[in-house]
Structure 1
Amino acid sequence: MAHWLLKSEPDVFSWDDLVKRGAKGEPWTGIRNHTAKLNMMKMKKGDRGFFYHSNIGKEIVGICEVVREAYPDPTAKAGEPWVCVDVKAVEALKKPVTLAAIKAEPRLAEIQVLKQSRLSLPAITDAEWKLVCKMGGH
């Protein structure tokens, strides 16, 4: 199983919005970055991801799961190569993990959310996954 970090601006689409979608989940549309697109194409059903509130809050608030693998993004213009996946909420972290806490943890110095801060869908290593889960009380 691979791990990911999915960024969303909470005033546009929040963790609570994903929770409300239930088991059917939500299409993760609108990604317009080639590296993020390639990551999305690697996502497999059952992969887990952190749900990160960007801009407002700047914190990991929950764990989501891929429920449908990459398919053409319905929000893309005809002929554009963009894809999306569907994700559902699994569980909220007991304690949100802030960007400040991630920056303060030396073992997370190489995490892509810090190294490629503009990337909307970075991969997370197994070691990073375990550490952030622990930091979040999971």
Structure 2
Amino acid sequence: MAYWLFKTEPDTFSIDDLSNRSNQTEPWDGVRNYQARNFLRDDVTEGDSVFIYHSSCKTVGIAGIATISRSGYADSTQFNPESAYFDPKSTPENPRWFCVDVTFKEKFARMLSLKQIKSMPQITTLALVKKGSRLSVMPVNENEWEILCRAARESKA
């Protein structure tokens, strides 16, 4: 099992949106960065755990946890001309973009803010705390996963 952090803008899709789905599962689609795509296509697998991270909002940070319920497959939005994520260079025979399915697991009582995360001396390898990191899908090592989970569950925001 691996650990991940997926960024989302809560105005578009939030931890609450995921938890309110009838089966609490949703495709994680619309990713249009090649490095993030490669993670989704090649590395993120069923059973992995994911932090859902809210970005581009008043309080950015880790909002909760999801589980990968389906490994990488072709993102259907790339084939839909009506979609904001349409890619005319992509074909069903040769898809360029991939997604995974995520299933809600837990919403934290309080957001673990980026400010809190950056103040934690034990969090050193997570790309999120490195200058200039804008990746929407990033790995989290097991030790930092445990530290962040514990902090999120104890967070006083």
TM-score interval (norm. to shorter): over 0.9
Tell me the secondary structure at the aligned position of residue 123 of structure 1: strand
Superposed, which structure 2 residues align to 1:66-81 within 5 Å? 66-76=68-78, 77=87, 78-79=90-91, 80-81=95-96
**5+ unaligned residues in a row in structure 1: which ranges?**
none
CA contact (8 A) 1:22 1:89 kept: no
**Inter-partner Cα distance in structure 2 for 1:110 and 1:8:** 21
Residues 120/55 of structure 1: CA separation in 2 closer, same or farther (3 Å cut): same
What whole-Å deviation, never above 9, does each CA across 1:20-59 have from its counterpart, x for those lacking one? 1243510111101111011112111110000000011211
SS of the residue corresponding to residue 148 of structure 2 reads helix
Are 1:2 and 2:2 an aligned pair? Answer: yes
Alignment partner of 1:134: what SS? helix
Residue in structure 2 matched with residue 113 of structure 1 by the alignment: 128
CA distance in 1 between counterparts of 2:31 and 2:119 reads 29
- Give the distance between the partners of 2:103 and 2:13, measured in 1 at CA: 13
Equivalent residue in structure 2 for 1:94, among 87, 109, 132: 109
Partners of 1:29 and 1:83 within 8 A in 2: yes
Change in CA separation of 1:125 and 1:105 when aligned onto 2, cut-off 3 Å? same
Instruction: Kindly report the root-mean-square deviation, in angstroms, between the aligned alpha carbons of the 2 structures.
Output: 1.5
The structure whose residues are more often helix, as a share, is 1
Report the Cα distance in structure 2 between the residues aligned to 1:51 and 1:60, rounded to whole angstroms: 6
- Ranges in structure 2 where 5+ consecutive residues have no aligned partner: 79-86
Post-superposition, which runs of at least 4 consecutive aligned residues in structure 1 deviate over 6 A? none
Q: How far does residue 92 in structure 1 lie from its aligned partner after superposition?
A: 1.0
Change (3 A) 1:26 1:53: same
In the other structure, the counterpart of 1:52 is 53
Contact 2:108–2:153 (CA under 8 A) maintained in structure 1: yes
Match of 2:149 in 1: 133
Identity rate, percent: 38
Alignment size in residue pairs: 138
